[in-house]
Amino acid sequence: MPLRDQKKSRVTLLDVARHANVSRATASLVIRKSPLVGSETRARVEEVMRELGYVYNMGAARLRAERSHTVGVIVPNLTNPFFAELLSGIEAMIDDAGLVVILANSGDLVERQDVVMQRMREHGVDGVILCPAAGTEPTYLRRATEWNLPLVQVLRHISDEADYAGVDYAGGMHQAVDYLVSLGHHRIAFAVHGPIHSAYHERISGFGEAMRSHGLGADMIIRVPNQLGEIANSANLLLNHSEPPTAVICFNDVIALGLSAGLYDCGVKIGSDFSLIGFDDVTDAEAMRPRLTSVSTAPATIGENAARLLLSRLRDPLRSPEKIVQQTQLHVRQSCAPAMIAAV
Amino acid sequence: MPLRDQKKSRVTLLDVARHANVSRATASLVIRKSPLVGSETRARVEEVMRELGYVYNMGAARLRAERSHTVGVIVPNLTNPFFAELLSGIEAMIDDAGLVVILANSGDLVERQDVVMQRMREHGVDGVILCPAAGTEPTYLRRATEWNLPLVQVLRHISDEADYAGVDYAGGMHQAVDYLVSLGHHRIAFAVHGPIHSAYHERISGFGEAMRSHGLGADMIIRVPNQLGEIANSANLLLNHSEPPTAVICFNDVIALGLSAGLYDCGVKIGSDFSLIGFDDVTDAEAMRPRLTSVSTAPATIGENAARLLLSRLRDPLRSPEKIVQQTQLHVRQSCAPAMIAAV
DNA sequence: AAAAGATTTTAGATCGATCTAAATGCGCAT
DNA sequence: ATGCGCATTTAGATCGATCTAAAATCTTTT
């Protein structure tokens, strides 16, 4: 029983309406679950939809209703475990709301971000969750406002004029520094990598504040490679320092894993000879031995927060900008030891 | 200069056409880069588009052209590093082709897969790249054919009636077994987890074949938990065996990381006391010490292969089904030692 | 200059759903 | 039986792009 010729087999709402002996507008009210339709009529139309295998055409609805039920998600990296967990949290919330995620990788480049943002606009996304590429200017977010495009910044804060879901990076740095100081460490390094962005600045200044609050110097900041496999070689930056640190706080768990491997290669025993703290507490770090002490940021929860903000923005476009800042939690495990027995 | 009232600020192709003194159809031909338009006319129309900030409406185009320029990607897990790398490869190829990825997580459940597949159809995706949930039947893929929905299976093979991009799992198992046997190991275990699917069967049978080809028993298969943090506890399954193995091949690198940690906890030295091989060679395993010997499957490349197949299918819908099977490569590092000095 | 052929542009219909106000049907009261 | 009020259904326009064949314009040939 073809309703259309073989080249186009799509069952439309008009087909459904004809079979159910109602108008297209009634059939449309049925699929939108409008209370204005009688229950008999509704049942009849729904039965016909099932029989004919009707599939809603979101594209057609979108043209008239000016709503695509899609959300753009732009991240700077797809393979870093942190972003994988963030994306997981975002997708779960968006899915729960009955929308779909259109995904793009900016590669942490503003030019690529422009390209994918334009593509999102062409696809008429209802809103965007953006982890801004390094170097993104506040004017960039202002343009989204001009476009009437709902937007949530996540993890990297560019502007107070848009919603933001992030982490209390400074608070997390304080927790790490305070803990190491409580173990008697005075020479504490901070290992960083990646591009300069708000999350970077917050961690740097958080480290500085925390160290100074204990009357300690905050200048021992080493820069390591971005690639996990190359970070191990940077362990000697710590060991060959004129005044070697007794502990290191890592910008993220990728650095913690990499430095841990490098210190192992140099015969240094973490958790006795040397203390090390990660940041983010991603799942992948669970396999590290000794067990990693890490500042937990719960990336999946941050993703959920971002999605929550966007969904809220879609319901109330004129709501004033809001921030959800996730508090960190230090998970003490076995990668740190008191400084007195940790002397190198 | 609002061209519409404030409630709807969208610049349409009709606006562009009026400003450029051409018809809508001509303006449409310009944005589609049709060779049928004169260069003067083209330049004029393009200039007007820039001035007015015209943004293409993909949804409108889709309604008439029956093409959405979107590709559905359904994976069973978003946080496993393997799938993160696979997704990265897919997104890169799809982006290169000027399409966008609509992402969904099936949670490895057929019922969820049904829901997200339906949603993909409503959104009118041009095609789907599907890593089938465990328990997916061949009839499931047959339905995609009935829907005229281009589909590529990736990693888990359900049916010969659809394109498939995967790995030569059996070949990889042979490489691992051959290598351990070349080191003198005879008692080799195989550590598995996760749901039963084609990739699972291929690895099991590949292990069996490889072991039997060396006249060895293939019954030492241990099942470990799915969560990375819980796998370590399974190390004693190896150590407390009536005839303890001297080596283990891990179903994937997640298991390798987890068992490595568990063996460390038991005081077993990998790469001297005991030999261990991973599978997939994901980036995250680069931090392991001793350095992990792993069978490389290049997940990002598999993702690219899957996308390549789908793009090819979009160009030639009637092409016969094709398979791209990625050959594995054993990356020998330091997690294995000869059996004679590896006696437990 | 006129005709023929090639190139470029156009008019009107179409895609499948939603919107909006009008029409219709039903139940109740007089 | 008629009128009123409410519930339900409907007709026609709309959304913004593409499709398709016809019309218009330009170039070349006779």
Phi and psi at B249, nearest 5°, equal -105, 130
Q: What pLDDT is stored for residue B342 in this prediction?
A: 45
CATH code of the domain made up of A13-56: 1.10.260.40
Q: Buried b / exposed e across B115-135, counting CB within 10 Å, b at 16+?
A: ebbebbbbbbbbbbbbbbbbe
Q: Which nucleotide is closest, CA of B45 to its C1'?
A: C9
Tell me the two tokens of residue B215: 């006249």
**Does the CB of B62 fall within 7 Å of any strand C atom?**
no
Nearest to A252 by CA among A148, A176, A153, A151: A176
B69-167+299-326 is a CATH 2.40.33.20 domain: no
Q: What pLDDT is stored for residue A343 in this prediction?
A: 47
Contact check, Cβ <8 Å, A58/B123? yes
Which chain A residues contact residue B91 at CB under 8 A?
A: 78, 103-105
Positions of CATH 3.40.50.2300 in chain A = 70-167+299-326, 169-298
Interface test with chain A among B7, B70, B95, by most A beta carbons within 10 Å: B95
Positions of CATH 1.10.260.40 in chain B = 13-56
Per-residue pLDDT tens digits for B18-73: 999 999 999 999 999 999 999 999 999 999 999 999 999 999 999 999 899 999 99
A70-167+299-326 fold: Rossmann fold (3.40.50)
**Confidence band for A10, pLDDT divided at 50, 70 and 90:** confident
Q: Which nucleotide is closest, CA of A8 to its C1'?
A: C15
Residue B43 CA to residue A47 CA, distance in Å, equals: 53
Per-residue pLDDT tens digits for A91-129: 999 999 999 999 999 999 999 999 999 999 999 999 999
Q: Which nucleotides of strand D come closer than 7 angstroms to any CB of the protein?
A: 7-21
CATH code of the domain made up of B169-297+330-341: 3.40.50.2300
Nearest to A292 by CA among A341, A249, A262: A249
CATH code of the domain made up of A169-298: 3.40.50.2300
Q: What CA–CA distances, in Å, run from A74 to A71, A112, A310, B97?
A: 10, 10, 14, 18
Q: Which positions ≥6 away from B27 have C-beta within 8 Å?
A: B13, B14, B16, B17, B20, B45
Per-residue pLDDT tens digits for A28-81: 999 999 999 999 999 999 999 999 999 999 999 999 998 999 999 999 999 989
Tell me the two tokens of residue B169: 């799992």
Positions of CATH 3.40.50.2300 in chain B = 69-167+299-326, 169-297+330-341
**Confidence band for B242, pLDDT divided at 50, 70 and 90:** confident
Q: Tell me, yes or no, if B70 comes closer than 8 A to chain A by beta carbon.
A: yes
Q: Tell me, yes or no, if B96 comes closer than 8 A to chain A by beta carbon.
A: no
